[in-house]
Chains A and B, each alone.
Chain A
Amino acid sequence: MNTATENEVTENEEKSSTAILNQPFRIKKYVAVFVPPLILGAGVIGLWYYITFGLLAEKRRFLLRPIHSVIDVGFLDGDNRTESLNALWSSTEVALIGLSISIGLGFVLAILMSQAKFLERAIFPYMVTLQAIPILAIVPLISFWFGTGQTSRVVVCVIISLFPIIVNTLFGLQSAEKGMHDLFTLHHANRFTRLRKLMFPAALPAIFAGLRISAGLSVIGAIVGDFFFGKGEAGIGQMLKKHANRLNGEELLACVILSSALGVIVFMIFGAIQNKAVGRWHEANSATS
């Protein structure tokens, strides 16, 4: 057989071979990535100061404290910091437990649904219903059944974060092309082999997309749950409630910043895992955002 010609190597090939970027190019890339959000961030801080000192009368300044005093009171004050970080940890714990349960449950349900159309038809409407229930509407029920402690917070977290995992995992499992299924059929692959070697790897990009959404939602779930069910260790939700009631503007904003930071960190962690797991082969190789 003749040799494969050089020109069969595609542009993609060339692209991946330039992965080792030279130094100036790399710096340029970082500048392009980080400068625009920094400029916008500086603008937002400027607007913040303008509203605090330019628009709000001194008496009403508690509505939006200046950023330096938020940092000073919310993060640099030892007592406040310890209290907020403890609350943050408690909420993180709830989010992690809730997310783990959602992942486990979501995978099992999605795999079951992928194996038989009958099961998909049976289960899916209830998942949509579960997703559509406003959490507020079932808060009383949850406290009836599970009390007002950590269990209830975790339940809220699961209800909020389960759906994207199921939908994305199921969609992913069903995403392998027909030709690939034919290939496995031709070579007598059994159900389990097909699931393990074809459907599950094909589903990974979608699974990670679902995980990222659900990870963010689990943080929201943990905070919302904490807001309603305050028994036991206080989470970020309880802190928000407390500071809002006492008109502690600085602490309140600090807690808001902490909760969104938690959401962003969780989102980024899953983005990094996604890149590690599917970045090498997936066509839409999304960068960690």
Chain B
Amino acid sequence: MNTNLNTSSSLLFDDIGMIFPDGTEALRNISFELSRGEFVTMVGPSGCGKSTLLKIASGLLEPTNGSVKVDRERLGYVFQDATLLPWRTVSKNVELLAELHGIDSQERQQLVEESIELVNLEGFENHYPKSLSGGMKMRCSLARSLTLKPPLFLFDEPFGAVDEITREKLNEDTQQLFKQEGFAGLFITHSISEAVFMSTKVLVMSARPGRIVAEFDIPFEYPRKPDLRFDADFAELCGKVSLALRGSHS
């Protein structure tokens, strides 16, 4: 477990199962592989174990069954909350992970500047989190992970708390970052259109215990334009995912 991968795959789940100490079975028989250049989104009903799976991928939780192969050295992880440290300014927050990884100060500054530019927070470097909107906090959180140039990016439903328009914008920005930086992305969400818009592949999970019940390849070219959302093919795919999701509820 946790061995470094020599192949092109960034993350490999092999028959993952998770039963919590209180007897709740959260996940059953989860197997899939994620490579660089792939952006996989998992959708599923609340409580189906999506976040648990992400925690297993990151090493915050150990599965009770199966194994996971992943390189956790420079892991990108975006939480549901932005988890910014309120006593640090935007640039100091972005600098945090590079600090924890012992990168020297000069290189850190360079990385911070680059990352802030990538998420378009220039001009807000010296602001404290309390004066940022939800969307800007999320950008800051993204920038913080980007400093590590992570080969694998895990997103735990990061845009759930922002308004619809901001969310769509963050979706557009995220898929652009994915194209630009070429990481492997594993994204969790409740929103079908968010999933279809950003991903190369959408996995549908069943209600507890979470299993993968459907898989959809998303064929649209990157970078994806905002008006893709009004495309008939896009709507059709969303409909298929929605149907599968409804099926998984019953």
Contacts and interface: CB of A to CB of B under 8 A. Distances in A.
Given A179-B81, A201-B85, A281 B169 contact: no
A2 B172 contact: yes
A124 interface: no
A3 interface: yes
B177 A4 contact: no
Contact of A183 (B77, B101, B139): B77
Interface string B101-136: 100000000000000001111001001111111011
Interface string A257-288: 00000000000000000000010111100000
B56 interface: no
Classify chain B's interface size.
Answer: 35 or more
Interface of A: 1-5, 8-10, 12-13, 15-16, 177, 179-180, 182-189, 193, 197-198, 201-202, 204, 278, 280-283
Contact of B83 (A1, A5, A179): A179
Nearest to A3: B120
Interface in B134-165: 135-136, 139
B93 to A, nearest CB: 11
Contacts of B169: 2, 5
A5 to B, nearest CB: 7
B129 to A, nearest CB: 8
Nearest to B120: A4
Contacts of B96: 197
B100 A184 contact: yes
B154 to A, nearest CB: 9
A180 B77 CA distance: 12
Contacts, number: 88
Nearest to A187: B100
B120 A1 contact: yes
A186 B121 contact: no
A8 B83 contact: no
Given A1-B177, A5-B169, A179-B83, A280 B128 contact: yes
Given A1-B119, A2-B169, A180 B83 contact: yes
Contact of A1 (B79, B118, B129, B133): B118
B49 to A, nearest CB: 17
Interface of B: 58-60, 72, 75, 77, 79-81, 83, 85-88, 96-97, 99-101, 118-121, 124, 127-133, 135-136, 139, 166, 169, 172-173, 176-177
Contact of A8 (B79, B130, B135, B176): B135
B81 to A, nearest CB: 5
B83 A278 contact: no
Contacts of B173: 1-2
B58 A201 contact: no
Contact of A283 (B77, B86, B119, B176): B86
B118 A10 contact: no
Contact of B58 (A3, A179, A186, A204): A186
Given A179-B80, A283-B86, 7 more contacts: A2-B120, A12-B130, A177-B81, A184-B100, A186-B58, A186-B59, A281-B128
Given A2-B172, A185-B60, A187-B101, A10 B132 contact: yes
Contacts of A9: 133, 136
A239 B118 CA distance: 68
Given A2-B173, A179-B79, A282 B86 contact: yes
A182 B86 contact: no
A12 B129 CA distance: 10
Contacts of A278: 87
B166 A12 contact: no
B120 A10 contact: no
A202 B87 CA distance: 8
A37 to B, nearest CB: 29
What 9 A-B pairs have minimum CB-CB distances, sorted nearest first?
A10-B133, A179-B83, A187-B100, A281-B128, A4-B120, A201-B87, A12-B131, A8-B133, A281-B87
